[in-house]
Chain A
Amino acid sequence: MSAPPRTATEAVEAIRAGQLSARELWLACQAAATDDELNAFTWVADADDGPNEEAAALPFAGIPLAVKDLFCTEGIPSQAGSRILRDYRPPYTATVVRQLLDAGASLLAKTNQDEFAMGSSNENSAYGAVLNPHDRGRVPGGSSGGSAAAVAAGIVPWALGTDTGGSIRQPAALCGIVGLKPTYGACSRYGMIAFASSLDQAGPLTRSVADAALLFSKMVGRDPCDSTSLAFPEAIELPRSERLDGLRFGVPDELTGEGVETGVRAAFEASVALVEQLGASVERCQLPHAPHALAAYYLIAPAECSSNLARFDGVRYGLRVDSQDGSLEEMYSRTRAEGFGAEVKRRVMLGTYALSSGYYDAYYGRAQRVRTKIAEDFRAAFERFDFILTPTSPTAAFELGARTSDPLAMYLSDFCTVPMSLAGIPAISIPNGASGGLPVGLQVVGPAFSEPRLLDAAHALELAHADRVKTIALPSPLRFEGNENGAAGARE
């Protein structure tokens, strides 16, 4: 073959055709991950632990996969970006990871992330910030920033992330790749270190929509270990659409106006014109409660986080800091003080406050009612439209440190992605050209369990966007033996 495979789908095809071996690809990715300068990884497999001959016959042909650190992987560090879980090696593997390994993916690396998935810049990791491969002075987005940076930089073909309020879609947008947040319940959460259980979903970060569909097709399914998971109602096929004829797209005023920076808006408007050229209709619409989504989210997510993170207490796993007075309570509070970073503490405090006696109805109860209104807004919109279109992030990647001193400004990064999370509906971010030389994302949103149609529409848009997206493509870091130019040589 003349060049390293650009996508996972191409890599699988190249292995099938005998143009590349799974082993060669593993070694090239392993070397690139070891040499990584973006701080994208918290653990990288040994070169010797690559796929065996049998893997080539499986659907994923043994190609490497990077997995966000918060997925439990048996015997392999799973630290969720937190000091409190330093060197924690779980006794079991998350269902979603297990399914992908069974389908023939090879676990190459665990990726850096914001601590317990709380953050939009990856600066909240106890293992250091991740750098954006397009500009190392900027953030990759978060919380799945390591996964996004690794895929965008071409170090791994694809990666697994999780999305609670935008943690797959926003870093995908800021790094110029594809990120899918599935319908809540489509993929098992068993073995995902929990942040906000009513919102958390696993999903793919990839370099093409077809790759997202391919990875997602093996992630779905009901898991007896997660009572909120459901059997996906249909098979996930590879997307093939090249047109959007007859489809109706809605553009909500509330998520496309104020707060969206000029370059992002220009890219968005260009993509709206493209949707029409592909045969679809586009109309403006309203999601009247969307402006309240962020407020509801920053009550619901911290409330659930304060409850979920109660398990980190220095008893069963992770860090313990001994008490000075010999009491159990002081051991808890010193362990948590030492083990949690500033943002996690902030959210644990906010959530504990919102759930505390006397405030529950005013905060958590109210937020859950707002959530109902947001879901109703989407249901009403989907009676008129097949899909909703918004920018993924109101800005392109910001500079490292730019928002760390202002939590509220950081939270505003999520204002286009949080409403869909609250409604539990699927949304995909695809590359949408650039603003000031930095990648910009386009978010396509559909009703619950519409992923097959959503992926098809995103695929048609991806094809039509190809020229604009080429401008942000990065050179592959993969080096194959016997070819100094980084291209895989012809094999026997």
Chain B
Amino acid sequence: MLDRDQVLHVARLARLELTHDEVERMSRELSAVLDHIETISELDLESVAPTSHVIEIANALRADEPRPSLSREVALAGAPAVAEEGFEVPTPGS
């Protein structure tokens, strides 16, 4: 069960502003999904190694050769705000 405070804490970590209604709904819906997910706690997984990648690949390397990348102009073309040839953002921390 995920209570209101936990929902707000996770929302803060996720940088997601939630309305009052969304907090209530999230608490209810995520709790239902987590209840289902709890079924894996029945399994004995003590000696089982975790899988993060399913197909065996070792050392996927390529030659470290310089090549052209996006120009500054192209890289900035989709930005909501640009200043002094960079991405413009509000002052961090206020």
Q: Which residues of A contact B (CB under 8 A)?
A: 88-92, 183-185, 198, 224, 227-228, 230, 289, 291-292, 294-296, 298-299, 306, 310, 313-320, 322-323, 325-334, 336-337, 340, 345-346, 348-350, 352-353, 356, 362-363, 365-373, 375, 407-408, 411, 422-424, 448
Contact = CB atoms under 8 A, between A and B. Distances in A.
Contacts of B45: 366, 369-370, 373
A318 B49 contact: no
Nearest to B77: A91
A325 B94 contact: yes
A294 B10 contact: no
Given A292-B43, A299-B37, A337-B17, A369 B90 contact: no
Interface in B11-40: 11-18, 22, 26, 29-30, 32-34, 36-40
A295 B52 contact: no
Interface in B29-64: 29-30, 32-34, 36-41, 43, 45, 48-55, 57, 60, 62
Given A91-B74, A306-B14, A329-B15, A318 B54 contact: no
A315 B41 contact: no
- Taking each of B12, B26, B55, which has the highest tally of chain A beta carbons within 10 Å of its own beta carbon? B55
B91 to A, nearest CB: 7
Interface residues of B, number: 53
Contacts, number: 175
A315 B89 contact: yes
Nearest to A361: B50
B14 A327 contact: no
Contact of B16 (A328, A336, A448): A336
Nearest to B76: A316
A346 B26 contact: yes
11 contacts: A198-B52, A316-B75, A318-B78, A325-B94, A346-B29, A349-B26, A349-B30, A353-B10, A373-B48, A375-B51, A408-B36
Given A332-B15, A353-B2, A316 B33 contact: no
A294 B39 CA distance: 10
Given A228-B57, A319-B80, A345 B90 contact: no
Contact of A352 (B10, B38, B51, B52): B10
Given A185-B55, A185-B57, A345 B32 contact: no
